[in-house]
């Protein structure tokens, strides 16, 4: 025997929970994706033919600042 009332309540509860959590899940995935992209860029950083040394240094410092202690010290 199927309890359609309980199924409807459960379905509505799951749908409401997903609608509530989905923005947070999307933001966490976006942040993690951005962090992984920056890590990959840091490990393969090189100056491009189209960027000046100043632009390269700004990009490098941005990446080093993102990684913080993992990037090493200034020594």
The model's pLDDT over 16-39, given as tens digits with 9 standing for 90+, comes to 999 999 999 999 999 999 888 888
* Per-residue pLDDT tens digits for 52-66: 999 999 988 888 887
Write out pLDDT tens, residues 11-20.
999 999 999 9
Instruction: Residue 41: name the closest of 64, 10, 70 by CA.
Output: 64
Residue 75 lies in a domain: no
Domain containing 39 equals: 4-70
Total count of domains within the chain: 1
Residue 38 forms part of a structural domain: yes
The predicted model gives 32-54 an average pLDDT of 86
| Domain contains 48 | yes
Provide the pLDDT confidence category of residue 70 given band limits of 50, 70 and 90: low
pLDDT at 68: 67
């Amino acid at each position: 025997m199927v309890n359609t009332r309980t199924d409807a309540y459960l379905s509505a509860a799951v749908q409401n929970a997903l609608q509530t959590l989905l923005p947070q899940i999307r933001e966490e995935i976006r942040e993690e994706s951005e962090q992984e992209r920056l890590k990959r860029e840091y490990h393969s950083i090189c100056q491009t033919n189209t960027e000046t040394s100043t632009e390269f240094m700004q990009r490098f410092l941005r990446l080093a600042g993102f990684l913080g202690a993992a990037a090493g010290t200034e020594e």
